[in-house]
Amino acid sequence: MVRLATGSVVAAAGRRKRRMVDWDAIISRDGPAVWRTAYRLLGNRADADDCFQETFLAALSVWGRQAVRHPRAMLQRLATARALDRLRRRYRRAHREGGVVEWDALRSADPRPPQLAEAAELSDRLRAALSDLPPKQAQAFCLYYLDGWDYQQIADHVGATVNAVGVLLHRARHRLRELLGEVGTYDAR
Amino acid sequence: MRDEPNDGDPSLDRAIDQLRDVPPPDGPTPLLAQRTLAMLWEAELQAERNRGRWIVRIAAAIVMGVSAAAVTFSFLQRHPHNVASDHSGQTSPSPPPAMRKPPPPSVTVAHGDEPPHAIAPQATDFEPPQTSRPRPAAFASAVTLTGRVYYDGRPPVPRLIDVSACPQCLAALRGPIYDESMLVNDDGTLQNVVVSVSAGLPQGTRIPVPPDPLVLDQKYCTFEPHVVAAMVGQEMLLRNSDRLLHSSHSMDSDATPLFNFALPTVGQRRIEPFQAVETFKVKCDLHPWMSAWVRVLPNPYFDVTRSDGTFTIRDLPRGIYRLKAWHELLGVVEKDVTVHGGEPVVVDFTFPGR
């Protein structure tokens, strides 16, 4: 008998007996929240899409190792971590190459009102500053201020005590305040 | 800003509010969700495949270990004095007679009033390997005939069988299957050729029929093996190893009782003993690509070439024989051979290219 294994046939055979995790339902239910978390931090659709996929790939290995009681919380934490990684890479590259163009900012050729321009600039400066924080501080900060988690939830997910979360947030704010005060350091546009 | 220590930095708070409160566009798009889902399935499948490979590797390692232990144990049982050596590598002298392995129990035969006497069995250190086919008693001290069958032409590319018409087969298969009617190896050797003794055996010799039935299996939506040979009077066992329906049907058979029955799932069915010399085909009515050939021969001196194109015919008595090599597409090639006895005889066949 001459047989060779091919992906398509094996995939057809394997699809019947898969899956302990119902990814279809998870993506339908929690996908939008995960995508919003990624988009808030990254600020553009292309990066958010990539981060979305990376998040679910990371989730696959997490689900393989442990039972996950709160899928959305776990996915948001993973999305935050992946988005922060991307932010770091982006601003590191920006330092090397002299700036990053945010194409979503060019959606309209009309001049923006000054308030909008200021808000957009603030957002970019905060993103840049977040990329400069230690990973744990950045993650705690994003989960608390952007995703609305409380201290206990963050402590459970990052493996720290509630007091340690308070310290992380305090240090994160302190460092961000310093970074935002350094005018002109981050030229994100 | 909730319960964190307020350090009163309005620009930081405004930046946070900006990031948090400005509504992001709708997402993910249905296409992104679909791609992510496909990616997850593929990754899960890959992980399953890797797990399966590890299980196979571990099982193979265990089997090899057990086999090695069994071989070592068997060797030690047979040659206990050969391994009694010291660390310098020198073999110690043979143990004294008192320490030697006791001889095997003798058989006592009584003849009427004579006192019983013991017949010591022949002491043999080597036993010939057992084959599934019994040694014909009349030629117990005969010769082994071996060889290869070659195809003198360009090896054809095996034809891929399209099983997409049967979703059950598609699900049961572990990979693509190919047409086995013409399997030529890279070195030109040919598989699935029946080599048999067609003439030259002494007339009137009674040769026992092999007691084990011939087994033809339906596995992974193919017949395994694709070509089988049996002796007249031998039974056949038709087996289904797939968990799906197969309907076996003997075609163009003149002497063998016609069979045409279904095996709905894993199971087997016995076919009546073959009545006469003939060659016929077996097909599955549900899966048109499934076919096998059965060749019924008058004596047990035959073999079907294996994956390396070799065949072995054991226990052939001295004499001059005509050998016949049969292939389902290439026909027959014959050759005369003289068996003197003593050393194994090697005979190769070559089918001309088409």
Q: Which residues of A touch B26 (CB under 8 A)?
A: 32
> Which tops the pLDDT comparison, B155 or B105?
B155
Report the alpha-carbon distance of residue A74 to residue A71 in Å, rounded.
5
Q: What is the mean pLDDT of chain A?
A: 77
Question: Does residue A157 register a pLDDT over 50?
Answer: yes
CA distance A142 to chain B (A): 9
Question: Does residue A101 register a pLDDT over 60?
Answer: no
Of A111-120, B52-61, B245-254, where does mean pLDDT reach its minimum?
A111-120
Q: How far from chain centre, in Å, is Cα B35?
A: 42
pLDDT over 70 for what percent of chain A? 71
Residue B25's pLDDT is 82
Pairwise CB contact (< 8 Å): B14 & A122: yes
Supply the range of the domain harboring residue A25. Answer: 20-102
Q: Nearest chain B Cα to A121, which residue?
A: B15
Read off the CATH number of the domain in which A166 is found. 1.10.10.10
Pairwise CB contact (< 8 Å): A173 & B15: no
Contacts of A152 (CB under 8 A, 6+ apart): A162
Residue with structure tokens 């047989």?
A: A3
E-strand spans in chain B? 107-109, 117-119, 143-152, 194-199, 214-219, 222-224, 227-231, 236-240, 246-251, 260-263, 267-271, 278-284, 291-297, 302-304, 310-316, 319-327, 331-339, 345-346, 349-352
Pairwise CB contact (< 8 Å): A27 & B33: yes
Of A173-177, B36-40, B290-294, where does mean pLDDT reach its minimum?
B36-40
pTM over 0.90: no
Q: Which residues of B touch A45 (CB under 8 A)?
A: 25, 27
pLDDT digits (tens, 9 = 90+) for A38-48: 998 888 888 89
Q: Nearest chain B Cα to A27, which residue?
A: B33
Q: Nearest chain A Cα to B42, which residue?
A: A11
pLDDT digits (tens, 9 = 90+) for A32-87: 999 999 998 888 888 899 999 999 988 988 887 878 888 899 999 999 999 999 88
Total tally of structural domains belonging to chain B: 2
Read off the CATH number of the domain in which B214 is found. 2.60.40.420
Pairwise CB contact (< 8 Å): A180 & B7: no
Q: Nearest chain A Cα to B172, which residue?
A: A13
pLDDT digits (tens, 9 = 90+) for B189-224: 999 999 999 988 887 777 888 888 999 999 988 999
If asked whether residues A31 and A78 sit together in one domain, one would say: yes
Residue B3 lies in a domain: no
Question: Does residue B71 register a pLDDT over 80?
Answer: yes
Select from B6, B11, B37, B40 the residue whose CB has the most chain A CBs within 10 Å, as the one to mutate to test that interface. B40
Residue A107 lies in a domain: no
Report the alpha-carbon distance of residue A121 to residue A106 in Å, rounded.
14
Question: Does residue B344 register a pLDDT over 90?
Answer: no
Helix, strand, coil percentages for chain A (3-state, nearest 5): 75, 0, 25
If asked whether residues A139 and A92 sit together in one domain, one would say: no
Of A89-98, B259-268, B301-310, B336-345, where does mean pLDDT reach its minimum?
A89-98
Residue B256 lies in a domain: yes
Report the alpha-carbon distance of residue A12 to residue B174 in Å, rounded.
10
pLDDT digits (tens, 9 = 90+) for B108-154: 333 333 333 333 333 323 333 333 444 444 444 578 899 999 999 88
If asked whether residues B145 and B23 sit together in one domain, one would say: no
Q: How many CB atoms are closer than 10 A to CB B158?
A: 16
Read off the CATH number of the domain in which A71 is found. 1.10.1740
Per DSSP, the three-state class of A141 is helix
Pairwise CB contact (< 8 Å): B27 & A32: yes
Q: Nearest chain A Cα to B192, which residue?
A: A1
Contacts of A24 (CB under 8 A, 6+ apart): B37
If asked whether residues B225 and B312 sit together in one domain, one would say: yes
Smallest Cβ–Cβ distance between A60 and the set B25, B40, B222 belongs to: B40
pLDDT band at B342 (very low <50, low <70, confident <90, very high): confident
Pairwise CB contact (< 8 Å): B27 & A119: no
